[in-house]
Structure 1
């Protein structure tokens, strides 16, 4: 079991999906959030969900980290709340809408995160800013960004000691942002499980 805590980000707006994607049915689960939670809890000793509200019926309240700020949708604000709850630790962060990232890739990111504050994944020309290891040291940068009303995750990464790890399987880092992505992801997951 991985000793590092894992937090699944579920507090986004889902504006491109036009409905809350965290609650969309996914493969053999009632929701995308439950699918991501159930698959990762097999590998992490401590796993949490970060969200604006408690909209999930499958987790214990102690595993839920509710954003302090309900009005502004920003991963920076989510990270701020997460680090207040889990301090002095490195944390593996992943978004709910990337359900195909393998445990092997997650372990690779963790292994490479030892000497840096942030270690995130990259495929081809895209950096996956919210798939990686974040050290609570970066709380200082987060506080200063919030004071200046800066909410760009890329800015946060660049202000700290970071490492970007390249992966070759683009599908593994597929994001489910809109109805087309959702359709594609359902067909992809059926292919994965039917070929095993």
Structure 2
């Protein structure tokens, strides 16, 4: 493993409903790539020991990328299903979780989160003045039972689960790094940001 590689798997969560975007945002073109999913995988996979895309189903997604399809028995349980499938499938005590629609989270953010991680924690989560970013952080296998309980109860609120777990929040000042592409205007703004770089 290269010295500058983060020693854990990266799970890119791309299985959400994209209801506010009106279409699957993971499949939108981005920065010269046919899909945002391919863009995120291309930039993140060199940084980590491994990287994989967590999806509800591979239908409609480009071939040639590593996918972790949700367990069919956990239908409509995103992102809970993604966490359960990741921990059941990957031989790792912790994973780095990132939503596919946060294309500006970079190695500086990841490094800062890893620097604050420790074995006695369940998770290390990014936070800015606007709030916490549950899908930008490190999750430990110690949370698997909690995720399974969430799936069984139908309660998929990550914030609630984290509030009851051993979590360390790491504060960041730059809101732009955590921009989510939830709505069409946010996607367009992100494309304009790329044009300026």
Fold shared by both chains (TM-score > 0.5): yes
Report the equivalent of 2:94.
90
Aligned partners of 1:26 and 1:180: how far apart in 2? Answer: 14
Verify: 1:109 aligned to 2:113, yes or no: yes
Aligned partners of 1:144 and 1:16: how far apart in 2? Answer: 28
Cα drift, residue 80 of structure 1:
1.0
Verify: 1:130 aligned to 2:135, yes or no: yes
Is the CA contact 1:121–1:167 (under 8 Å) kept in the aligned structure 2? yes
Q: Secondary structure at the match of 2:15?
A: coil
Verify: 1:164 aligned to 2:155, yes or no: no
Report the equivalent of 2:75.
71
Verify: 1:3 aligned to 2:7, yes or no: yes
Q: Report matched runs for 1:6-155 at 5 Å.
A: 6-54=10-58, 55-60=60-65, 63-69=66-72, 71-115=75-119, 116-155=121-160
Cα drift, residue 156 of structure 1:
1.8
Aligned partners of 1:46 and 1:174: how far apart in 2? Answer: 24
Aligned partners of 2:93 and 2:157: how far apart in 1? Answer: 22
Report the equivalent of 2:187.
182
Note the alpha carbon deviations across 1:142-170, whole angstroms, 9 max, x for none: 12222222110112212221011110110
Aligned partners of 1:129 and 1:74: how far apart in 2? Answer: 13
Aligned partners of 2:178 and 2:83: how far apart in 1? Answer: 21
Q: Secondary structure at the match of 2:124?
A: strand
Aligned partners of 2:152 and 2:109: how far apart in 1? Answer: 34
Aligned partners of 1:88 and 1:21: how far apart in 2? Answer: 28
Q: CA separation of 1:117/1:125 partners in 2, compared to 1, >3 Å: closer, same or farther?
A: same
Point out the more displaced range, 47-56 or 175-184: 47-56
Number of equivalent positions: 190
Q: Secondary structure at the match of 1:171?
A: helix
Cα drift, residue 73 of structure 1:
4.1
Q: Secondary structure at the match of 1:41?
A: helix
**Which ranges of structure 1 fall in alignment gaps of 5 or more residues?**
none
Aligned partners of 1:117 and 1:34: how far apart in 2? Answer: 29
Q: Please identify runs of 4+ aligned residues in structure 1 that moved more than 4 A.
A: none
